[in-house]
Each structure stands twice: as structure tokens, then as C-alpha cells.
Structure 1
Amino acid sequence: MDSRENIQFMGTQNFTRCESALHLEVEALRWAMKNMLQHSPCQSFGTDYKELIAIINEPQEWPSFATELENIETLQICFPDFKITHVPRVRNQLSVFLGKTAMSFRRELLFIGCSIPVWLSKSSQA
């Protein structure tokens, strides 16, 4: 979102299984950062997962995530004004929708755009 909370880009991908929900959130952040380098000058990321913010802000407290955090720290170099903030789920319904839709796909799904395409919104209703 921009400073007026207008959606600039959104995306989703159905990942293969991860060790835990937190591992999945870390992988999703890495994926979003990597894609924003290609599509947008975005510097700010949001999550409804408070533990993800803790892991980014205090990586030494999470040694089991060392490898994943190395990847994110490498990407952070490309974002001089990197910021990650907590967005409560009630204010993040579009993200919840995209996540649930991606999980329901039986084939690979990768989407990045400015609005939800018709094929994606209809596939979630089927």
C-alpha cells in the first residue's frame, strides 16, 4: 500500500509445505521482497504475524531460522528504508483471501498485480 493505504501491488504463491507456520511466513516475506525488487520501489511490508516482526527485529533470538534470515538480510540491503509493520487481520482481509485462495489450488499458482484478476476470484468460488 502507499501512504494513503491504496493498494499498489498484491500477490500470492502457493508454497510447498514448510516446517511451521512461521517458516511459511518468513518464506512469504522473502518471496515478496524478491518480487518487489522487480516490480516496485516498495520499502514497506506488512504482516498480521507478530512473530515475523520479532524474528526480523531480533534475529539472534531465533537461531533455528539462521538460514532463512540470511536470505532476508541479503535482500534488505536492496531496501535502504526497509520497514515491516503489523497489520491486524481485520484490516488485512485481502491478504487473507489471497492466502486461502492459493492454498486451495491443486496446481502451481503465482500471481502479482494491482488488482485481483477475474480468473482468480472465480476459482476460489468453485
Structure 2
Amino acid sequence: MFRGINRDLLELVRYAESECQAWYNARDTEPVSPQVQTNEETQALSSGDICMVDGSWTSTAQFSGMGWVWKDTMGKIHLMGSRNLQRRETALHSELEALQWAMESMIQHSYCQRFGTDCKDLIAML
């Protein structure tokens, strides 16, 4: 039973990671000129490691889920975490707690200081 839950949670974290990366890329990309860019030029646009964060929440569930993924400039995953806790009051509470946990984890395990989230309320609050 736990193996299936862990697989589902990992799949959810990977989906959240891809959503967060898509949002981050859409927010930070500059208009590309019609000429073709090489890999070296594309890599120069990247500005370092990032820890992408997501929380999940529904009003009827008993638990809230959260996860984070630390990726380098090449997209290689170095570390990830996921867990569930008793359901938080709101989705924003869940997202904020996920960010706090990710920040604490990055202080312990890396030098990463960039964080991404798909929660526009959390972004506006920060």
C-alpha cells in the first residue's frame, strides 16, 4: 500500500515540478530574436540552481501534501523531498509551509537561494 502511495506522491511532485518550471520559464524569458540560438547562448540565460516548491490541499481531505525539488542549471535533480501532514487551514497555508520547509532544507543541504512556486497568492504575499 505505501509503495503505491509513494509512487503517486512522487508522480505528483514531478508534475508540480514541471508546472512550476513552466511558470518560471514563462515569467522570466526574454523575447527571442528570430535567429537560432546555440546551446551555449541558451545556457547563458539560465541564472543558477533553483528549488521548486508546491503544496497540495483540498477542503475535504484529511492531509495536505507538499514537495520540493532542487535542480541545477542543466535541469539535473540533486535532491527532492515530499511529505504529507494534517490538512492545513487553506491552500495558501500549505504552499507557505512547503516553501518554509524547502528553505530550511536548502540551508542544510545546498547553497541554492532561488525558489519557484506556481502559487500566485504566495508570490504576491512575499
Higher helix proportion: 1
Higher strand proportion: 2
Q: From the CA coordinates, give the structure whose radius of gyration is larger.
A: 2
Using the size of structure 1 for normalisation, the TM-score is: 0.41
Q: Which has the higher contact order (CA 8 A, sep 6+)?
A: 1
Using the size of structure 2 for normalisation, the TM-score is: 0.41
